[in-house]
Chain A
Amino acid sequence: MINNPLMSIMAGLLLWSVVFVVLYGVQATGCHLAEDKVSALGDWPGLRATLTALFLVSFAAVVLFYFLARRRHRRPDTGTEAFRREVAMHVWLAAAIATPFCFGGVVWLSLCGT
């Protein structure tokens, strides 16, 4: 998948970071653009639908990549390659846990209310 070991070790949480920036950016921009449409509770259905879709797609992607990393880790190998696969798998697992834990709130929390 990713040939450079250093990049493959970072890939899981790099994707998590991109998801973070995208969700935070869409939320802030959406609240700014939807100023008149936001309800008293700080909600706007269009924005919630967008954020929820982005969250679900990214969660599915991270989980998929985690299982791929786990399958690769099970292949027999030694030395640097085994090290790379094991560390990359742990990092993908961290991303798979961190994604719903950090971003799951887009499904129910107030989007624009402070």
Chain B
Amino acid sequence: MIEEDMKQPSPVALHKALERVWGTPPGLARLAAVNHNILGKRFMLTALVFFAVGGLLAMLIRTQLASSESAFMDAEQYAQSFTMHGSIMMFLFAIPFFEGVAIYLLPKLLGTRDLAFPRLTAYGYWCYLFGGGTLIAALLGGVAPNSGWFMYPPLSSNSYSPGINSDVWLLAITFVEISALSAAIEIMVTVLKLRAAGMSLDKMPIFAWYMLVVAAMMLVGFPPLIIGSVLLELERAFHLPFFDPSRGGDPLLWQHLFWLFGHPEVYIIFLPAAGAISTILPPLAGAPLAGYRMIVAALVAMAFLSFGLWVHHMYAAGIPHVALSFFSAASALVAVPTGIQIFAWLATLAQGSARFSVPMLHMFGFLCTFVIGGLTGVMLAMVPFDLQAHDTHFVVAHLHYVLIGGFVFPMLAATYYWLPHLSGRQPVQHLSYAAFWMVFIGFNVTFFAMHLTGLRGMPRRIFEYPIESGWETLNFISSMGSFVMAMGFALVALDFILLFRFGRRRRRNPWGAGTLEWAMATPPPSYNFASLPSIERRADLLDPDRLGSQLASGKGYLGAPNRGRMELLAVEMISGNPEHVVRLPRRTFLPIWTAAATGCFFLSLLFKLYWLTPITFASVILLFLLWSGDTAEKTDVGDLPVGGGLKLPPHGETARPPSWWAMVFALAADATAFISLLFGCFFLWVSAPNWPPQQLPQVALAGPAIAAIALLVAAWAGRSAAARSPDAIGWLALTGFAQLVAAATLTWLAVAALPDPRSHAAVSSVFVVLAYAGLRSGLGMVISGYGIWRIRRGYVSERRNVDLRLGVLWHDYSAVAGLAAAGFPFVMASLAGELSR
């Protein structure tokens, strides 16, 4: 432990002092909460409410299909039900639930007090709630999305879905994805920078490795879907023909963009659950996790391979044989790293002496169902079999075995394991066993029967079937199973309520785990650790009981809250050596207001109130700028004592604070979106019918040249400003002016210099690429103006110039992406005009 170099208060006094700084009072102030304990629980609880809604819709679906030619629902109601069931379960339950688990647990497992950007967590939560609420409101209003949860055009296009239904999906899901992207950035920065002192990469808890990989996958996986949604909404609202084959578009482009997201999404959902298993299995088995390093390698392999198999959802779409072989092979290959993890868990069980408990029971459920789902997955990866089973109930059965087996059972195991941590109480468990068996048996009866109806040729998404089809008995059995499963989930909910109401108070660490989340009181205080640990062993082989009492008495880093600020330690990301002190912002209503403004932006698009769109967009930017005031310093703080004789600078006075890394990751997400857009444009040239266009997307050289020069000037001036801070107002003014010129030129090129973008996909592609670059330059101008404001207010010095260095990242990236955009009209005109002939 750390030798303290200042006078220590008693543990009780320390607790009270920290609670004053970190705590959130009840009442209206809860809406301003930014603490990860509150937000993590909020995410999980909201996700469970959405799970209940999605489950209710599933019951309606099964009621409809229980008998042939059922009159329970008509085709439209059925279409809305299955679309909303899939969308809710994927976007409003699975991802947000594990985000909630990660938000609640990660800081504790890493030995810190909060996530890197607490206000971003709060903003993400409100975006999720408002976006999800929009979908539910549409369902209640009878205008819910009805084109299936993957929204294939042309069914989702204006011609076949003229109402508001598809717009609700495209806009609300994009709104919710802001939450997912913000969580991805938050998790990556937290895992890489906010660990306990001494926690080098090889000592990280395995759950942190899982979440690091998952967050990186989200950062790369979600932008293609956002770009696809934007393009489809542009087609629906403004008739830009990206998916309309009569004008050079191609519906297959949507399938590529959607599944570029959609297949990694399966692993994005599975891996956090697997991470929970890898964390809770060792204490339950009484043995350390086997094959830690192999598991890390398997995770990396899964992350990459899962991006190389998106076309296995498109085997029936007419893809050349050799390309099918790439994706079929990758689909089969991804089973190997999955298998490595399963064998590592079995080896862990074999080494120890397993304790038969409720979490273990759910892990048994996971192993059985997930392995079956994995095997049918390998079957579906094979092209000849997939062509037979494509779009049948066999696929529905497979995906439920994978998702319920791979996510719901592990998450139930994790919930039962960590409920004593959340509540400070021990489960009553009279109901737990009955609930498990009802869910397990109900699940298998429901979905195993679907394999058989699928093999007998029953297509998915039909709302009725003829009596002579021979599917009725199996469907009836399936529906009965689903009701048993639903009762099982109701029992699980009742079990949780009983635990919180009647559970017995127990000592901390009931499982005898070796991870840091148990080195604190349960339920945890708002600050997690009264002082921050320094570790010398792998973070799942510790002694939290001994460590907990030492940390509570302040014998760690930052154990003296005499500065009255929410502080935690940032480390060098490889070695885990302490690097600087992160000073977090206080609770604020700004996240909820910003999310509300973001919601108004999306609603203005949904209801086609386009005059309101720029106003709401400007409001969002303005509100974000207001966030910056809280942590700003008007003077250099200098190195701060953190305990053990160690002094570290505050984050605002270091070269690469968390915000710098967040900007890097945000730009990586933007780059992925931009590359996805360029891929889409080239895809249309390669594959779409009705090319070349009658009018080429040609522009004169002068416009792109001016934009390119302006972008280069902006990057150069931005760098000069950072190098000369704080005397940089002139340079920043030049940066802003150059970005203004670039934005104006790119927008003019898109709006006035091109032929009508509605005429052909070649023109609309160039239009969107230019407009995207123009928007980025516009934001660059805002960032420059913000820098000037910060200097004028005295927030920037030679030491405190992180604002300007964030600007450098933005301007440099804008220059690279903007140059690509400025050259794009010539490339597209050349491809469309010359090479297509």
Contacts and interface: CB of A to CB of B under 8 A. Distances in A.
Contacts of A105: 321-322, 325-326, 329
Interface string B574-617: 11000000000000000000000000000000000000000000
Contact of A28 (B304, B318, B686, B835): B686
A99 to B, nearest CB: 10
Contacts, number: 110
B321 A83 contact: no
A98 interface: yes
Nearest to A10: B300
Contact of A84 (B201, B303, B323, B333): B201
Contact of B323 (A13, A27, A97, A98): A27
A23 B322 CA distance: 10
Interface of B: 200-202, 293-294, 296-297, 300-301, 303-305, 307-308, 318-323, 325-326, 329-330, 333, 336-337, 573-575, 683, 685-687, 835
Contact of B835 (A13, A33, A90, A102): A33
A112 B300 contact: no
B300 A91 contact: yes
A4 B201 CA distance: 12
Interface of A: 4-6, 9-10, 13-14, 16-17, 20, 23-24, 27-29, 31-33, 42, 51, 79-80, 82-84, 86-87, 90-91, 94, 97-98, 101-103, 105-106, 109-114
B293 A14 contact: no
- Per DSSP, chain B at the interface is helix
Nearest to B319: A114
Contact of B321 (A32, A42, A91): A42
Contacts of B301: 13, 91, 94
A5 B300 contact: no
A90 B303 CA distance: 14
A112 B320 contact: yes
Given A90-B293, A113-B321, 11 more contacts: A23-B326, A27-B323, A28-B683, A33-B835, A83-B201, A83-B202, A102-B325, A102-B330, A109-B322, A109-B325, A111-B320
Give the most central of A42, A51, A83, A97: most B CB within 10 Å.
A83
A89 to B, nearest CB: 8
B79 to A, nearest CB: 30
A87 B326 contact: no
A103 B329 CA distance: 8
Nearest to A112: B320
B320 A27 contact: yes
Task: Give the dominant DSSP class at A's interface.
Answer: helix
Contacts of A113: 320-321
B320 A87 contact: no
A80 B200 CA distance: 7
A91 B337 CA distance: 11
Nearest to A101: B329
A87 B200 contact: no
Contacts of B330: 20, 98, 102
Contact of B687 (A23, A28, A94): A28
A23 B321 CA distance: 14
A84 B200 CA distance: 11
List the 7 closest pairs (A to B, CB-CB), nearest first: A90-B297, A105-B325, A83-B202, A13-B304, A110-B321, A102-B329, A109-B322
Contacts of B835: 33
26 contacts: A5-B201, A6-B574, A9-B297, A10-B300, A10-B304, A13-B305, A16-B304, A16-B308, A17-B307, A17-B308, A20-B308, A27-B322, A29-B686, A51-B322, A79-B202, A83-B201, A84-B202, A98-B330, A101-B329, A102-B308, A102-B329, A103-B326, A105-B325, A110-B320, A111-B322, A114-B320
Contact of B326 (A31, A42, A102, A110): A102
A103 B326 CA distance: 6
A113 B318 CA distance: 9
B624 to A, nearest CB: 29
Given A87-B293, A87-B296, A80 B202 contact: yes
Contacts of A111: 320-322
B318 A114 contact: yes
Contact of B297 (A42, A87, A98, A110): A87
A5 B574 contact: yes
B314 to A, nearest CB: 12
* Central interface residue in B294, B318, B322, by most chain A CB within 10 Å: B322
Nearest to A105: B325
Contacts of A90: 293-294, 297
Contact of A31 (B320, B574, B683): B320
B325 A98 contact: no
Most chain A CB inside 10 Å of its own CB: which residue of B200, B304, B573, B687:
B304
Q: Which residue, B296, B325, B337, has most C-beta atoms of chain A within 10 A?
A: B325
Nearest to A110: B321
A8 to B, nearest CB: 11
Nearest to B573: A6
A24 B323 contact: yes
A14 B300 CA distance: 10
B201 A32 contact: no
A110 B319 CA distance: 11
